[in-house]
A and B are shown apart, each in its own frame.
Chain A
Amino acid sequence: NAGVTQTPKFRVLKTGQSMTLLCAQDMNHEYMYWYRQDPGMGLRLIHYSVGEGTTAKGEVPDGYNVSRLKKQNFLLGLESAAPSQTSVYFCASREPGRGGRKAFFGQGTRLTVV
């Protein structure tokens, strides 16, 4: 049981390049999230999805796009990378439920934009 898997784990981009971060979960969860974490700071929500084909903006969505074409995958795209997007990116997933449900996180993607 792999849980939440993020690809790639590390990446260096040049300013203006584009890339896609992949998050895959094998727990059949409805909800998925993308966060970024800058040094010494907490996680900030970029975008999230409450089901296949749906996405919504979080706290810091500018400069990013997302897609949830398949339930198990949540893609985060950077169309034109900027140095300000240098960060560690975490993906998470969870089930909805009135009783409260815990989220599972991936191990992160460390992105450097030079």
Chain B
Amino acid sequence: DAKTTQPTSMDCAEGRAANLPCNHSTISGNEYVYWYRQIHSQGPQYIIHGLKNNETNEMASLIITEDRKSSTLILPHATLRDTAVYYCIVRVGEGSSNTGKLIFGQGTTLQVKP
């Protein structure tokens, strides 16, 4: 799986958009970008994923650059409950020798401040 690089920490004001970047310059054509978050010491929670197109769901938006070497997770109106560690993961699609693996990096600690 491609390696990802994320900033160690970020701050965001409550009510503002939080933009979390992720670099994955070695990503391959069949690798998906996933975002998970971990609040306090709970189990990680799925947020969103995409392959090449931008994606949006009820939690967030995912913007993937045209060359797919980086992406940005956007929380449109951050709240205090969004304070968490956010993980960007790049995972191969099905059918490869690495089928199934889900490898986490260090993640970005997002602190939402009042």
Contact = CB atoms under 8 A, between A and B. Distances in A.
Contacts of A43: 44, 87, 104
Interface string A39-75: 0011111001110000010110000000000000000
Contacts of B103: 45, 59
Interface stretch (A11-19, A77-85, A94-102): A94-102
Given A58-B101, A100-B32, A105-B45, A42 B107 contact: yes
A16 B94 CA distance: 39
A103 B93 contact: no
Contacts of B17: none
B99 A50 contact: yes
Contacts, number: 67
B51 to A, nearest CB: 7
Contact of A100 (B36, B49, B104, B106): B49
Interface of B: 32, 34, 36, 41-46, 49-51, 85, 87, 91, 93-95, 99-107
Given A48-B100, A92-B44, A100-B91, 6 more contacts: A56-B100, A94-B102, A100-B32, A100-B49, A100-B51, A100-B93
